[in-house]
Structure formats: structure tokens, C-alpha cells
Amino acid sequence: MRRPYPFHEIEPRWQQHWAAHETFRVANPGEPGFDASRPKFYVLDMFPYPSGAGLHVGHPEGYTATDITTRYKRMNGFNVLHPMGWDAFGLPAEQHAIKTGEHPRFNTQRNVDNFRRQLQALGFAYDWSREVNTTAPDYVRWTQWIFLQLYHSYFDETTKTARPIRELEERGLSREEIDAQRLAFVAEAPVNWSPSLGTVLANEEVDEWREKGETVERRPLKQWMLRITKFAERLLADLEPLDWPESIKISQRNWIGRSEGAQVRFALAEGEGSIEVFTTRPDTLFGATYMVLAPEHPLVERITTSAQREAVAAYRAACALKSDLDRTDLAKDKTGVATGAFAVNPVNGARIPVWIADYVLMGYGTGAIMAVPGHDERDLAFAEKFELPIVQVVQPAKEGVEWRGFVDDGTAIHSGFLDGLPTPEAKRRIIAWLEEKGVGQGRVTYKLRDWLFSRQRYWGEPFPIVWDQTTGRHEAIPESELPLLAPELDDYKPTGDPRGPLVKATDWIRYSETLQRETNTMPQWAGSCWYYLRYCDPRNEQRFVSAEAEKYWMGGRSEAPVRGGVDLYVGGTEHAVLHLLYARFWHKVLFDLGHVSTAEPFQRLVNQGLILGENGQKMSKSLGNVVNPDDVVRDYGADSLRLFEMFMGPLTDSKPWSTAGVQGVHRFLARVWRLVMDEQATEGTWEISPALQDVAPSPAVLKALHAAIKKVTADIEAMAFNTAISALMVASNELGRAEVRPLSAVRTLLVLLSPFAPHLTDELWDALARKFGGPTGLCCEQPWPKHDESLLVEDEVEIVVQIAGKMRDKLTVKKDLPAAEIEALVLALPKIAEALAGKAPKKVIVVPGRLVNVVP
RNA sequence: GCCGAGGUGGCGAAAUCGGAAGACGCGCCAGACUUAGGAUCUGGUUCCGCAAGGAGUAAGGGUUCAAGUCCCUUCCUCGGCACCA
């Protein structure tokens, strides 16, 4: 097969060379070869889940962008940490194990090997000696160790930091009091239990199995939770200074969902007790005409009257069967049942009915609301359906606006002492009143919930926890027993026990006479919460990362007002919230406990866009528009794939694949090849072109070259790789036009192209060195060139001449010609004289070096 | 519904500060070389028009000497969230 250039030979050769010479290995402080004089730069990719399907062309997009940045920074004299690894726990491997009976680690290993092969075929400058795998025992060990840090910590409300549990013990708190404060704690929480499958499902699996006809219900189980809610305020505040896309910051803010309002206590009309509600609109308290409890609210049992008992029980049972999705999706139509109980509105003594309805969520606020149907859309819909009273307590500012369902700020009305107050003022007044009367207080609530950290799965990190069968208490196992690995099983099929597949391993569970192991495992998020730290010191057997390595790679740099951490983190928007929030949470705990040196893990975040199929639709097997990188590498080479993915458009945009586009950049690379090489009579035999000579470049070539240096440098800094490539094309076209191609200019072009097309440029660099001698080392190890601004200045500039804003003529003048002289020259032009017809112009705008606009 | 991103040639896209719209690439057209070309090279290519010229950055309006860029209104596409009191 005839190829425009022999990429199929040179690419594997250079990949082997880089691997054999450990070209991209970077030393830690204290290790041989470490150069302390260089600044550090940490470039991180979101590591992949190694699926059986292999790499997708979407993966190399972000990876190529970080690779270019890595290589560019290296050439600029940085110590660059650029690692890769595997987020290898996950459901597909477990499902494979269930089907085949083979331990998931084998399937995982095969997939990892395939992913590594595919990534290495793309020539990425990873330091493979730092590869991590979240399922490896020496990694699991430290994930479990971090869990124990959480388990042995509490949140100190005065310092707002994580502190060791030991402090509580020293203060003499009881075991119960301590357990109630641990950052890792146990609570009853509903899981998606499928009786027909005999297994627990992840939220994202529920729909899929329902469609296949399986049943899924909510069932409360003892679950491990992480107290992320305590960190809500810090997670919110520390987001501010990060160099992240604004859209991601907004997503995180929304997820945390801070809202200010008041907690109000409504006494029950009959009997003892009261109902606490949270509201952001305490100013509408006079308009509360009924109350609603979440169906799961603990008070329901107690307050329901005997007449309503049956209806309430039936409603609660129906709600229990619904998944979260059903409750939100289908519930446009409000449902609910009266409990028969009544409460008293503290502001006006009104006796109002208490209902239960699933539009009130147990997990938010207090799980109970005061309903103000006049000024809340949901309450209004409910009140209309069940014919509950609706009263106005807010007057819209604008005339003629319907007050029913008016939810914006206005003026209080029919609200006693609040009447006439604007909403914000009314809120302040009523909160002061509630506090004074002791029936409520101002309060901040977050949408963020504590992190449900247990999974009833096999292929995840087991909890380093045992349960005392006599006391029912949990205990941490000693750190010396880590890693705690899951036992081998005969088969991985569901057991029908909602505690998960590990219950089958009876020997493993039995820890001692009285102690039994926890059978839950950690979620996939656990490993990805701290992998960026392990990369800093991946083979350390004493610590999860040494203090020195952590401080060096994650520490702040002096030249910028940075907060430290990873300098550049690139990945998809699908991790906008969960991964990035969980990792930030763990990082803060580790920071509080003194294990890491910065409060935030990722200083700068960039999201690459989606690569769509050639038809503009999302790539998917069912649409048959999936592009396999292996095929592209086979047909056009890795350099072409890399270059095309960067040339398609801006990194952060979604853009469609185009085979013709790959051919375009492939042709460009072939032209660069032929700038240097000449094909001989025998097909595929190449020698240095006779047109390439060691001569001084012409001024035109020099200028084109330095323009390219300037543009490519600025564009890589800005991650505008598409326009950087365009500049390289312009420069190479210019060079190709010359009869004689000067060696020095060609070499500079190769250096500029090297981060984008490393195989081609290392090959040509090497060929030139063999023929002409010159600089030693690989092309990718050359210093990055600097442009000479003096070569770019023009002594003459073209000025655009406009009449009334429309381009009419052009004029070439000396660069520094004063505005008055330019104006005189322009007014003397025949076209201008004609347009003015002897009259003086109304206005003349002169923008020196650019244009003159004459307004007649 | 809410939030976010975006709408520029036949296509992917360029366009520091408001100052020549369409760089670069694909595709297409013509030519050269050639036994051949789906290789390579040269030239052309926003639209209408033979031309002079005119129009043109989703649509409409506004600010300005000058608007793809700033402001207002509307429409469309994509992504995320979705009873959070």
C-alpha cells in the first residue's frame, strides 16, 4: 500500500524509543535526576474507566490537549507531572463476572491492557512508571486508609474543620455521642432493592431494569454515609477563586443549593408536640393555610387520626414503591392524604390541617412544610386539587398582576404587623419576631445531602470495618490489616440478600468470635477521589503520598496567585458535579487533618467538548457512527489523529467527526514530510531532499517563521490548538514555496510542530541530525523557540479608506505617518474627492495603522 | 419550567480593543504533470450579477463615524437540572 509518508514505520519506532529511554519519566524531589531549578507543572487527565469497548475517539481529544500542553511545558523548562491510570472498579466488570463466573480482576486486567496499548499507540507523553489502578491492592489499601481518616474524624463547628475523634474521647463524650459525629457514619437509608433480581441497584440502573420488566422498590437499609453536608459552606466559598468554567461552578453551586430562610415551629392543635418546617418565605407565614409532611416523616404515625389511618397507610405504602424518579417525573399531578390532625399557625392562631404528600421530600429541610398556596406554585396546585383555602399575603408591585401564584418579591398584605413591608424587610421582621417568641429562628439549608457511601456490590473496596455481634457496634480494623481485599467467590451471582454478594463469604465475614466484617463495598467514586494524589508518589508503601512529593507537585507556585493543586485538569462535563465535588470534599478533610498542603485539589479545570458522529449525532453503537481510534491510526497514523482532533475546532466545543478532515491534516503532515524528504525511484524510499540546504533563510521566510512562533506560542498558552495548527500550516506553505528550504527554518518548524505531531517531528529531526549534524537530543527535547518581534514589524502599512463606513479604497503609507498626514493623503484620493464633490467632509475618523473613515 | 452554552459560506471553522467578515482546512471548479490518478502541484471558490455594483454573520429593532463583536425583543439548536419549600 502506497502511503504519503511512512507513518506506520516511524510511529511504533518512536514509541518504543520513548518507552525504552523513559523519555517522559519525571523525577520526584530527592530522586536521581530531579532538577530543583525548574518550576513544576501538573497536567492531569480524568482517568478512564477501562471498558470492554476500548478507547473511543472522544478520549484522545482531552488527552491530546493535555499532551500538547505537557510537551510544550517540558520544552519550556518545566518539570511536568503527566500521569495516567485506571478507574477500574465498576459495574460492567462485575456483570461480566456474574455471567462468566470469572473473577472481575481478569476482565479488568484485559481491558486495562487494551486501553494502555491504545493510548501508547497515540504517542502520549505519560510517565508510565506512575500508572495507578484503583483496584490494585496497594491502591485499595490507601483508599481504605482515607476512609478510616474520615471514620476517625468529626466536624468541629467552631473551627469549621475536620478534627480527630480522639479530641471527643478526651472530652469524655460517650460512644453514642461520638458515633453521631463521625464524618463516616451509619444511618438507615433507602436503597433500590429489586426482589425479582435479588440485588440492590444503583440509581442509574433502576430505569433500565424496570424497562426489562423487573421490579424495584425502595427499602431502608443500614448504610455508610459521609458527612459532606458539614463542608457545604466551604465547598461553596472555596469555589470562587478557582480557575474553572463558570458553568461548572454554577452546577456545583446549584447542587449544594444553599438557601436562606427560617425554621418555624407549629404546635399541634390537639395533644403534645409540634411540627418544624423550613421556609425561604417566612414573610408569607400569615398565608399558611395547611401543612404537609413527607410521607416518611416520623411524626405521621403519631398524629394520624384513627379515621384517616387506613388512607394514610395506603398512601405511604404506595410511595414506598415509587423510585425517586417516579416521584419527581410523574408527579406533576399532586397527590396526598389528610392525616386528620391540625396544627396552629403561630402568628395568628389559625387552626390548619396537616396533610401528607410526596411532593414534600423527607431529605430536604425538616421534611415538612407550611403551605402557602397563594404564593407557591406547588402549594397552589395542591390546594386547588384538594379545595384548600388560598389567601393573599403578598401584593405584587405592578398593577394588574394576578396575586394567585405570585412568587416574587412584593409587599406584605393581610399579614398583621408585616403589612406594608417589602418582602426582604418582612422576612427580617418575622424572623426577629419568631426568635423573640421562641417559635422559630433564621436558618440556612442546603440541597446537598450526606453522601450515601455504601454499595451492595462485590467489585469495590470493602469497608475496613467490623461489627460486634453482641453490642451491635462498629469498629475500625487496624491500619496494619490494610488492604482488606474481597474474598474469592465461587460465583458472583446475586444472593437475594440485600446486604450484597459478600454475605456468601462466610469465612471471610467471620473476623473473630464476636466480630463480623461489614459486607458493603465503597462506590466507584472512592478511588477517583484521590488518584491525583497517588500519582505524585505512586509506589510509596509507607504513606498514601509522601509529604515532600505532595508539597512539590500539589503545592502553589510562586509566580501566580494560585491556591495550589493540579495546574491543569482536563475532562468532560459529565463530572461537573459528583466527582469534582466528592474529590474536593475528601481533599478538604485530608487538608484539615494535615495530610495535604492545599485546601483545593484542582486549580484550573477545562472541559473538552463532545466529539459527535459524522452525521452530527452523538456517537453510539445503535446509530452505527462510532469511530474507532485504532482504525484511524492504521489508516492515517497517530499524528494525524492527534492533529485532526485538535484542528476540528475549539477544544471546549462539541463538534462532528469528519474522515475527510483527517485526510486534510494527513496531507499537511505529508507536505511537512516532503519539505525534508524526497522520494526516490523506488517507491517508499526516502532521502533528504536536495532542496533542503544549510543556508540563511530569506527575510520573507524568517518573517513567516517568527510570526508562526509568536502565534503558536500564544495559542498553546490559550489552549487554542485549532488556530495554532492553522498557523503551522501557513508557515509550512510559505516554506514549501521557497526554491531552497533553509535547514534552520525547517528545524524551527519541526520544533513548533513537535507537541502536536511528535512521531513525525522526532523522525525528521533525527534524519536531519544524521545528515547535517547539529543539536543533539530528540526534537521533543529541544528548547521552545522565542520569536523576534523586530522581524515582524512592517515599515509600511495598508490603510483602509472608508466612505460612510463602507470600504472604498486602500492606501499604503509609512508605518508611523501622523494622523493629519494620513488624512491629507486620503482626502486627495480621486474616489474621495469625487464623493465629496468639492464640499468639506462632515467628519473624518483616522485610526492610525488601520483605517480612515470619511463621512461626507 | 429553570440554568448554561451556542446560531457566521456547500461543510469544520477564523476574526486582541467595536475598525477590510470568512484566516486555515474540507468539498467543489479549472489547469499542469501523467499510461493512469481517488497522488502531487498551480489558480479559483460567501451570495446575486456578464459587469459596474449590490447584499451578507438566526430574525427584528437600537447605540455608534463604524457592530459578527455592545444594548433590547423574538425564534431555533445543544447540554444540564428538574416538586429542594
pLDDT tens, A99-127?
A: 999 999 999 999 999 999 999 999 999 99
Q: What is the reported pLDDT for A562?
A: 47
Under 8 Å between Cβ of A63 and A9: no
Task: Identify the residue with better confidence: A31 or A855.
Answer: A31
Residue A558 has pLDDT above 50, yes or no: no
Closest of A553, A489, A408, A649 to residue A83, by C-alpha: A553
The distance (Å) linking the CA of A296 with the C1' of B60 is: 53
Q: What is the reported pLDDT for A798?
A: 83
Residue A359 has pLDDT above 60, yes or no: yes
Q: What is the reported pLDDT for A559?
A: 47
In whole angstroms, give the CA distance from residue A489 to residue A497. 15
**What integer best gives the mean pLDDT of chain A?**
91
Task: Identify the residue with better confidence: A463 or A620.
Answer: A463
The distance (Å) linking the CA of A475 with the C1' of B52 is: 92
The distance (Å) linking the CA of A411 with the C1' of B73 is: 29
Task: Identify the residue with better confidence: A399 or A140.
Answer: A140
The distance (Å) linking the CA of A653 with the C1' of B7 is: 13
Q: Which residue is nearest to nucleotide B25 (CA to C1')?
A: A664
Closest of A90, A121, A83, A118 to residue A104, by C-alpha: A90
Q: Which nucleotide is nearest to A854 (CA to C1')?
A: B65
What is the average per-residue pLDDT within A342-354? 95
Q: Which nucleotide is nearest to A851 (CA to C1')?
A: B19
Residue A441 has pLDDT above 90, yes or no: yes
Q: Which nucleotide is nearest to A260 (CA to C1')?
A: B85
Q: Which nucleotide is nearest to A448 (CA to C1')?
A: B84
- Say yes or no: ipTM exceeds 0.85: yes
The distance (Å) linking the CA of A726 with the C1' of B22 is: 14
Cis peptide before A483 (omega within 30 of 0): yes
Q: Which nucleotide is nearest to A331 (CA to C1')?
A: B83
Q: What is the reported pLDDT for A619?
A: 85
Residue A823 has pLDDT above 60, yes or no: yes
Q: What is the reported pLDDT for A548?
A: 95
Under 8 Å between Cβ of A823 and A836: no
Contacts of A94 by beta carbon, 8 Å cutoff, 6+ apart: A104, A457, A458, A459, A492
Residue A165 has pLDDT above 60, yes or no: yes
The distance (Å) linking the CA of A242 with the C1' of B38 is: 51
Task: Read off the DSSP letter of residue A572.
Answer: -
Confidence class of residue A325 from pLDDT cuts 50, 70 and 90? Answer: low
Under 8 Å between Cβ of A502 and A486: yes
In whole angstroms, give the CA distance from residue A146 to residue A140. 10
Confidence class of residue A561 from pLDDT cuts 50, 70 and 90? Answer: very low
Residue A65 has pLDDT above 70, yes or no: yes
Q: Which nucleotide is nearest to A797 (CA to C1')?
A: B20
Burial A538-568 (b: 16+ CB within 10 A, else e): beeeeebbbeebbbbbbbbeeeeebbbbbbb
Maximum alpha-carbon separation in chain A: 111
The distance (Å) linking the CA of A481 with the C1' of B37 is: 71
Q: Which nucleotide is nearest to A845 (CA to C1')?
A: B65
Q: What is the reported pLDDT for A805?
A: 82
Kindly report the bases of strand B lying within 7 A of a protein C-beta atom.
3-5, 11-15, 19-21, 23-27, 39-42, 65-67, 78-85
Place of cell 491543569: A568
Residue A68 has pLDDT above 60, yes or no: yes
In whole angstroms, give the CA distance from residue A454 to residue A522. 5
Closest of A86, A106, A48 to residue A492, by C-alpha: A106
Residues of chain A with pLDDT > 90: what percent? 71
Residue A493 has pLDDT above 50, yes or no: yes
Q: Which residue is nearest to nucleotide B14 (CA to C1')?
A: A723
The distance (Å) linking the CA of A849 with the C1' of B54 is: 29
**All three cell numbers of A343:** 396544627
